[in-house]
Each structure stands twice: as structure tokens, then as C-alpha cells.
């Protein structure tokens, strides 16, 4: 679809799945979550609570945090039952 077609059709755009283009990591206000691998049990609570899917899981195990999309809301740190995630000052 061209931009003109999108404008005429209530802002419908192609392709789909383009919310990825909105790199929400820039929204962080000075704090970011820091993951402590030693304390982590890979329970996945942070993964399910994260509103941005910024917790990266591979083969059932947590591998890190995607700072491109993490908004720094701190929900993961709040929910982690092992306190394996803490909010730290942005570098």
C-alpha cells in the first residue's frame, strides 16, 4: 500500500507486524533491569509479566533482556520471586 492509500483507508498499513519498528527502549527513564543469572531459576514469571516481551527465553531458559524494547518499567524486578532482577541506574 502507498502512503496515499493508507491515508484514505483509516491509516491501514502494510506489512503487518510493524510494531517492532517502534523501538520502545528509548522510553527508559534512567533505570534498567539487571539480571543475575546465578539467582535465576528460569521460572518465567518475568517473561509472562513483561508488557513488551523484552525477556528473552531460549529452549526454556532465560538468556537475557532485550534493551531495544525494554521500557524500564520494573515489573520484572518487582515480580521475580528470587530477586534475580534488580533495577539499576542506566550506564
Partner 1 sequence: MIPIRLIPMTGGQAAVEALRQINPAVFAAYPITPQTPIIEGFAKLVASGKVTTEFLPVESEHSAMSAVIGAAVMGVRAMTATSSQGLMLMSEILSVASGLRLPILMNVAARAISAPINIHCDHSDVMNVAGVGWLQFFSENPQEVYDLNFIALKVAESINTPAMVIQDGFVTSHSLELLETLPDDKISKFVGNYTSKINPLDFNEPKTIGPLVLPDYFMEVKKAQINDFDLALEAFRLESEAYFKISGRMIKTIEEFHTEGSESAIVCLGSTAGTIKHYIKNEPEKGYSLIKIVSYRPFDYSGLAKLLKKYQKVIVLERAPTYGATGFLTQEVYAALRLLKEQKDVKTYVYGLGGANFGLSDVSEILNDS
Residue nearer to partner 1 on the CB measure, 26 or 89: 26
* Nearest distance from C-beta of residue 3 to partner 1, angstroms: 8
Q: How far is the CB of 20 from partner 1 (least distance, A)?
A: 11
Q: Which is nearer to partner 1, 9 or 36 (CB)?
A: 9
Distance CA 70, CA 29 (A): 11
d(Cα 84, Cα 8) in Å, to the nearest integer?
Answer: 49
Q: Give the nearest distance from C-beta 7 to partner 1 in angstroms.
A: 5
Contacts of 31 (CB under 8 A, 6+ apart): 72, 74, 87, 88, 89, 90
Nearer residue to partner 1 within complex by CB, 10 or 30: 10
Amino acid at each position: 500500500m502507498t502512503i496515499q492509500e493508507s491515508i484514505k483507508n483509516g491509516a491501514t498499513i502494510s506489512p503487518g507486524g510493524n510494531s517492532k519498528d517502534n523501538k520502545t527502549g528509548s522510553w527508559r527513564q534512567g533505570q534498567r533491569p539487571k539480571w543475575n543469572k546465578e539467582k535465576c531459576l528460569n521460572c518465567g514469571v518475568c517473561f509472562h509479566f513483561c508488557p513488551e516481551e523484552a525477556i528473552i527465553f531460549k529452549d526454556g531458559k532465560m538468556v537475557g533482556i532485550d534493551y531495544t524494547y525494554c521500557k524500564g518499567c520494573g515489573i520484572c524486578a518487582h515480580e521475580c520471586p528470587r530477586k534475580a532482577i534488580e533495577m539499576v541506574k542506566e550506564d
